[in-house]
Amino acid sequence: MKRAISVVAAFAALVLVTAAAQAADKGEQVFKEKCAMCHVVKGKGGKIGPELTKVATKLKDKELIAQLENPKKLNPSSTMPSFKTLPKADMDALLKYLKTLK
């Protein structure tokens, strides 16, 4: 019985680790689709916006979300489009991904 419990616990831990890794992967995918044409991370991407490799050390979650939802509020002359309609799961994955970069 004890053994069955530890097998279940090991499996649960594996599922959690995998889910976290998948969220970061999904974030990377969202980034490549929606952001990489304008932003460089780790030396790759477009040069229209600033490099974002270390952006999570500079901006807090709230500030990142504000930038994504309403870029013009923070910088009226911003040419970055709003990502207000991005599904919450994509937004969360994106934030996780940006935090893995720094």
Binding site for ligand HEC (CB under 6 A): 34-35, 37-39, 48-50, 52, 55, 58-59, 64, 67-68, 71, 75, 78-81, 83, 94
Question: Quick one: tokens of 14?
Answer: 């594996």
Distance CA 70, CA 75 (A): 9
Q: Shortest Cβ distance from residue 11 to ligand HEC (Å)? A: 34
Q: Shortest Cβ distance from residue 32 to ligand HEC (Å)? A: 10
Closer residue to ligand HEC in complex, CB, 23/94:
94
Q: Are 98 and 55 in contact (CB under 8 A)?
A: yes
- End-to-end, the C-alpha distance of the chain in Å comes to 44
Q: Shortest Cβ distance from residue 19 to ligand HEC (Å)? A: 22
Q: Are 65 and 91 in contact (CB under 8 A)?
A: yes
Closer residue to ligand HEC in complex, CB, 3/60:
60
Look up residue 47 and give its amino acid.
K
Closer residue to ligand HEC in complex, CB, 3/87:
87
Closer residue to ligand HEC in complex, CB, 17/48:
48
Question: Quick one: tokens of 25?
Answer: 């992967």
